[in-house]
Amino acid sequence: MKNKIYLPNGTEAQEACYSEFPIEEYNTNPFIQALPPIADKKTIIKKLMTIPTFKEVERELDSSYRMHIVKRLYKLFQPLPQHVRIWNMVFSLVFQGYLARNPFDKEYIRYVNATGKQIINRTYDLSNKTDFRTTANCGLLIGYSGMGKTTTMNKILNNIPSVIVHDTYRGQHYNQTQLVHITLQTPHNSSLKALSLQFFMKVDEILGTNNFKKYVSRNLSVDAMLPLMGIVSQNIGLGLMVIDEVQHLQNRGVLQMMNYFVTMMNSFGVPVIFIGTPASYPIFQNELRIARRVTGSGEIIWNNMGNDNEFRLFLESVWKYQWNRKFTPLSEELIQIFYEETQGISDLIIKLFVNVQQMAIYSGKEEITIEIVKRTVKESFKMMKPMLDALRSGNPYKIAKYEDLRRLEETHNKKTERVEQPVKIIKKEIIKGNQMVNLLTVSNNPKQKIQRDYTDDDIRQVYIKANKLGVSPYQLLLEKGYIDEMSFGQGDDFL
């Protein structure tokens, strides 16, 4: 068992205990060997699972107590396949990022010493090429608000020691405090200086150091701060930087901020994970250097759950925690209404289940019914109604009003159809796995008409339907909700 150590400022750290890995290149680096073992899928699920305290006898308690007890459900964490993917991405980035930063590698020691002298003498130039070849990459976690991105990341990082204290490595004295990971919040104004100051303050808070006082002054520019952040990262063996709420970069400072993170990876070897809502995705699509690194290590798109087995697994894992006097079995009708009213957003599923139980207790019904679910939604989900209505409609125009709800695969994976000349489409069918798959083969034949199958949300479908019905395309587009009718009363002013 690994011993705990407390730093002078009270931070809990872990005494380094070195493991041997089946991967040869991991066994010569104390930064890597001090990390936890690489876990299999079963172990990952076990480590992430959090189950609230539950006793059936509590159902007999007075309603005033049960109104409080039901909120234990907010502690529940049911691992799903997406959580396992995120775990593997995080661990891979940390392990791989340390490969080029071996504190016992002579070339790396030489690079760190030379870089440190240049930064202190203010002669360091970020644009200069060096012999240091980084192994750091970045990960991207983009998903709906309410799917648990930050919660999941925090639970995973809780399974990696934040601070590791080294003393002796393979018989050699090795005095080193290793900060494995740090999480920063993107400033609302996209200020690089605010992010830099946050970095120094967070490191000092965790390790009890005085880097902020030592390096930061009122007139220090961001260009001067970045190398100082780099040298601090090298000195503390920083393994991973997590940047949360990156959608705040949407308005300004995007290019500068991306240059900032690329420098942290290239010059100082620190891997970065970006967490944000779908509103932040265009940032990474437009930044080739980041996109290239994300492609090499991990891009996880986390949309809401569909009405499928994953959603049912999640709902079933929650359903057994009922504190109403009468236990209500999970029926198909209840499954459908819970999906309809939450659209597969995990945070809303939990909140609806808590509020439904409280409503059942408060009303005296003491059981979950369709009527109570509808009443709860009407009274407790008022603010969410426009967003959920947009999701239910499947209308891209309505969903586009809420950037945090945009399904990324609909915009990211679609390709523009381009036809150089009329083609003949021949339909063939093959069996792939357990599913029938349609293949379309084409042959040049200018006499054949082009036939296309448009998706339900394709605006061209509306135009085709309008022609068939003999009505105005504009009127049909208006009815389908793709455009707004801009009408003004006589007393309205148009500015």
User: Does residue 355 sit in the same domain as residue 380?
Assistant: yes
Q: With bands split at pLDDT 50, 70 and 90, how would you rate the model's confidence at 165?
A: very high
Q: Which of 206, 227, 207, 205 is nearest to 215 (CA)?
A: 227
452 pLDDT above the threshold of 60: no
* pLDDT tens digit sequence for 290-307: 666 555 566 888 888 999
Q: Which of 172, 242, 206, 231 is nearest to 30 (CA)?
A: 172
Residue at 70 is within a domain:
no
pLDDT score, position 419: 33
Q: With bands split at pLDDT 50, 70 and 90, how would you rate the model's confidence at 446?
A: very low
User: Does residue 93 sit in the same domain as residue 202?
Assistant: yes
Residue at 62 is within a domain:
no
DSSP-derived 3-state class of residue 5 = strand
Residue at 313 is within a domain:
no
pLDDT, mean of residues 263-290? 80
Q: Which of 137, 154, 132 is nearest to 234 (CA)?
A: 132
418 pLDDT above the threshold of 50: no
Residue at 180 is within a domain:
yes
pLDDT, mean of residues 336-355? 93
Give DSSP secondary structure letters for 138-197: EEEEEE-TTS-HHHHHHHHHTTS-SEEEEEEETTEEEEEEEE-EEEEEPPTT--HHHHHH
Pairing of strands 172-179, 163-169: antiparallel
Q: With bands split at pLDDT 50, 70 and 90, how would you rate the model's confidence at 325?
A: very high
Task: Tally Cβ neighbours within 10 Å of residue 21.
Answer: 14
At 179, give phi and psi (nearest 5°).
-95, 110
Q: Which of 304, 309, 459 is nearest to 390 (CA)?
A: 304
Give DSSP secondary structure letters for 406-450: --HHHHHS------SS-EEEEEEEEEETTEEEEEEEEEE-TTSPP
User: Does residue 226 sit in the same domain as residue 125?
Assistant: yes
pLDDT score, position 424: 40
The answer to whether the CB of 267 falls within 8 A of the CB of 226 is no
User: Does residue 405 sit in the same domain as residue 460?
Assistant: no
Residue at 28 is within a domain:
yes
Percentage, residues of the chain above pLDDT 70: 76
pLDDT score, position 161: 94
Q: With bands split at pLDDT 50, 70 and 90, how would you rate the model's confidence at 59?
A: very high
CA distance 27 to 90: 20
CA distance 406 to 145: 11
User: Does residue 354 sit in the same domain as residue 269?
Assistant: no
Question: How many domains in the chain?
Answer: 4
| Cα-only R_g, the chain | 28
End-to-end CA distance of the chain: 71
Q: With bands split at pLDDT 50, 70 and 90, how would you rate the model's confidence at 266?
A: confident
376 pLDDT above the threshold of 70: yes
Which residues are within 8 A (CB) of 295 and not within 5 positions of it... i.e. 6 or more apart?
none
Q: Which of 85, 96, 207 is nearest to 153 (CA)?
A: 85
At 445, give phi and psi (nearest 5°).
-160, 95
Q: With bands split at pLDDT 50, 70 and 90, how would you rate the model's confidence at 455?
A: low
Which residues are within 8 A (CB) of 362 and not within 5 positions of it... i.e. 6 or more apart?
63, 67
User: Does residue 373 sit in the same domain as residue 482?
Assistant: no
pLDDT, mean of residues 183-199? 87
Q: Which two tokens stand for residue 484?
A: 């707004």
420 pLDDT above the threshold of 70: no
* pLDDT tens digit sequence for 377-409: 999 888 777 778 777 777 766 766 666 666 665
User: Does residue 251 sit in the same domain as residue 346?
Assistant: no
| Residue-number span of the structural domain to which 339 is assigned | 323-411
Q: With bands split at pLDDT 50, 70 and 90, how would you rate the model's confidence at 283?
A: confident
Percentage, residues of the chain above pLDDT 90: 50
Residue at 48 is within a domain:
no
pLDDT, mean of residues 102-120? 89
CA distance 256 to 291: 16
Which residues are within 8 A (CB) of 130 and not within 5 positions of it... i.e. 6 or more apart?
111, 115, 267
User: Does residue 363 sit in the same domain as residue 236?
Assistant: no
232 pLDDT above the threshold of 80: yes
pLDDT score, position 72: 96
User: Does residue 359 sit in the same domain as residue 345?
Assistant: yes
Rounded to the nearest integer, the mean pLDDT of the chain is 82
In eight-state DSSP terms, residue 403 is G
Residue at 64 is within a domain:
no
pLDDT, mean of residues 190-208? 91
Q: Which two tokens stand for residue 291?
A: 């996109």
Give the residue, 246 or 458, on which the prediction is more confident: 246
Give the end of a domain, one of 395, 411, 427: 411
pLDDT score, position 143: 87
CA distances to 211, 245, 246, 294, 407 from 281, rounded to whole Å, are: 33, 12, 9, 12, 11
User: Does residue 389 sit in the same domain as residue 353?
Assistant: yes
User: Does residue 173 sit in the same domain as residue 255?
Assistant: yes
Q: With bands split at pLDDT 50, 70 and 90, how would you rate the model's confidence at 101?
A: very high
CA distance 137 to 118: 25
User: Does residue 140 sit in the same domain as residue 277?
Assistant: yes
Residue at 287 is within a domain:
yes
CATH number, domain of 112, equals: 3.40.50.300
CA distance 153 to 90: 8
